[in-house]
Amino acid sequence: MGLLSVLALSASISVAACATTYDYIVVGSGPGGAPLAANLARAGYSTLLIEAGGDEADNPTYRDLGNFIEACNDEASRWDFWVKHNDDPKVDALFKHNTWDTGDGTFYVGQNPPAGAKHLGIQYPRAGVLGGCSLHNAGVSSLAQDDDWNIVANLTGDSSWEASKMHRYLKEISKTEYLPAGNPDHGYNGWLSFIADDPSWAKQNNTPGVRIVHKFAELIGQKGEDALTLLSQNDLLSSGPNKDEKSSLFNMVYHANAQGKRSTPRDFVTATLADPAKYPLTLKLRTLVTKILFSNSTTSPRALGVEVMEGASLYRADPKHTPGAKGPISQIFANKEVIISGGAFNSPQLLKLSGIGPASELTQFGIKVIKDLPGVGEKLGDNYEASIMALTKEPIPAGLMTTIFRTPNAPTKKRNIYAWCGPFSFEGFWPGFPTNYGPTQWECAMVQIGPKSQRGTVRLRSADPQDTPDINFRFFKDQGDADISELVSASNILREAWKAAGAPAEPFQELHPCPGELGKAPCTDAMQAEYIRTQAYSHHATSSCAIGADSDPMAVLDSKFRVRGVQGLRVVDASAFPVVPGAFPVVPTMMLSQKASEDIIADAKKA
């Protein structure tokens, strides 16, 4: 595509058409909303996709996957949510990366803020941009556990959610670039490209990195000499029987193409917009949806459309927001349905602002109750994340060692830890993250699969749609000791593998959770548990508008994503999952979006 064509396409997606009525309105252009809007338009339905942010087009900060740290820190798209991890402010105060507004346009990160600084909380960045968080994440791609799909089938009686039937949605969206065509477990004609890591570093003989990866393979029941084969051939996106019980090394997969460029739902949207004569999709950028409009019926309210405020950086999570900034307000209507895809924070907020949620909370802010749904904004869940970090005597030349494994204290036979190790630093999010410890840094980062506590909440701070909600993850509220003990067990296994490094990498000087020389400094399970309890972090929020059983008063959605008690309204994004799906929810959310597309189009054809 030439320069003029690129400029023309960018211009074409900056301004929406003047029509005020569409078949469908989709609010939010992330991994849930963007594919859905494109699919509806490709099925012939006039569809409006609304995004509060802009479009970063081919900005290399976003387009090149290797720049994900810069993308996540970039004010061009960053939305800052300042969250709590705990009900007890004394516990949250122990988190080392608490953030403060100094009042001079800068942040202070730490536990000893300057006088007069305003405490903000713990940063949880999201992306206000076309494509949502798929534009600023690290691109890591993995599957949900089979049980994460089966739970929906079991709760609702809808067998279409069974894991054996869900994998086809991945095949439909996939363009697999790391395997030769013809593998029946993969798709090759979809809009989402996948590539895999280059594990050739593991060919080296008798180097510290290779010794570590060989030892780790042995610790999880594999053969050390098979490490290169496992890293090369074990496929994270393969289904197969008992896949969730297989502890092994794996080849890390990314949603990107062979040139290292991100592959995201944005690409699917722009490809759809490029043929307006065939696909009736309209995109409205820099537009904040302030409420859902309903009919006046008191017995069977129906979503009729949305109210919007137009302008850039209107939402206060946007660091570019100007206090007091407003925009013109208008209404847009849907002939068929309104679909909310704002993500785990914004979807429940918008439902509540529109009168759908716990009646007691809505009346507190003077919001007319359309439907009392106590589960809206409840059951917020996330993967717990933690890391062990050290400095080595000499740098360890190695790529990423990726593994999914089961700790001995896991509650079932299923794997419960996704980890990756290498010469990098990642310890959570704060303005300007991460800390660069230099060329000798060595880390193993962990994501817990299947956390047992989902007691987080997304609640209104005010009735102002420009305001951010009050978010509290309530880490470790239920069965917290069990969750922590699994992370401690994983730390011990990973650390044991480090001891195989040998010269010239040793000695390791561990920075956390057990500061001091590896093998000599005290490192008890209790010490590690306390560190994890106060320093765990997360960035995979889900389940705040969860699908559930008809008999469950906390269920927000039915199995077809329909909001209970109202008509013409669905939620399609990560907030719909009843449990946190696997270790990384971005690919499961795109699979969920593909399923929702099929369900909605099928319903439209019946009407």
Taking Cα atoms as reference points, which of 402, 442, 385 lies closest to residue 220? Answer: 402
Please state the φ and ψ torsions of residue 130, each to the nearest 5 degrees. Answer: -60, 120
Q: Phi/psi at 106 (nearest 5 deg)?
A: -125, 165
- Asked if residues 547 and 439 have their Cβ atoms less than 8 Å apart, the reply is no
Please choose, from the candidates 572, 592, 585, 577, the residue with its C-alpha nearest in 3D space to the C-alpha of residue 144. Answer: 585
The answer to the question of whether 565 is labelled as a binding residue is: no
The answer to whether 447 is annotated as binding is no
Return all residues near 469 (Cβ < 8 A) that are at least 6 apart: 345, 348, 349, 377, 458, 459, 460, 461
Annotation-wise, does 27 bind a ligand?
A: no
- Residue 66 gets which letter from DSSP? G
**Beta-carbon-side half-sphere exposure of residue 320 (alpha carbons within 13 Å):** 15
Give bridge partners of residue 283 from the DSSP assignment. Answer: 49
3-state secondary structure 462-527: CCCCCCCCEEECCCCCCCHHHHHHHHHHHHHHHHHHHCCCCCCCCCCEEEECCCEECCCCCCCHHH
> DSSP strand E in 251-318: where?
253-254, 281-284, 287-294, 303-310
Does 138 belong to an annotated binding site? yes
Residue type, 202: A
Annotated binding-site residue? 140: yes
Instruction: Report the distance separating Cα 45 and Cα 281, nearest Å.
Output: 8
C-alpha–C-alpha distance, residues 38 and 301, integer Å? 27
Residue 278 CA, chain-centre distance (Å), reads 32
CA-to-CA dists, residue 43 to 47, 54, 333, angstroms: 10, 26, 19
289 is in an annotated binding site: yes
Residue 434 sits at the vertex; the CA angle it makes with 347 and 459, to the nearest 5 degrees, is: 20
How far apart CA 558 and CA 158 sit, in angstroms, is 10
Separation between Cα atoms, residue 590 and residue 346, nearest integer Å: 18
Nearest in space to 458 (alpha carbons), one of 292, 295, 317: 317
Contact (Cβ atoms closer than 8 angstroms) between residue 448 and residue 385: yes
Distances in Å between the Cα of 597 and the Cα atoms of 32, 530, 570 are 10, 44, 11
Contact call for residues 49 and 272 (beta carbons, < 8 A)? no
d(CA 430, CA 109): 7
Q: Position of tokens 């534009």?
A: 135
In terms of residues, how long is the chain? 607
Binding-site positions = 129, 137-140, 289
Binding-site positions for FAD = 129, 137-140, 289
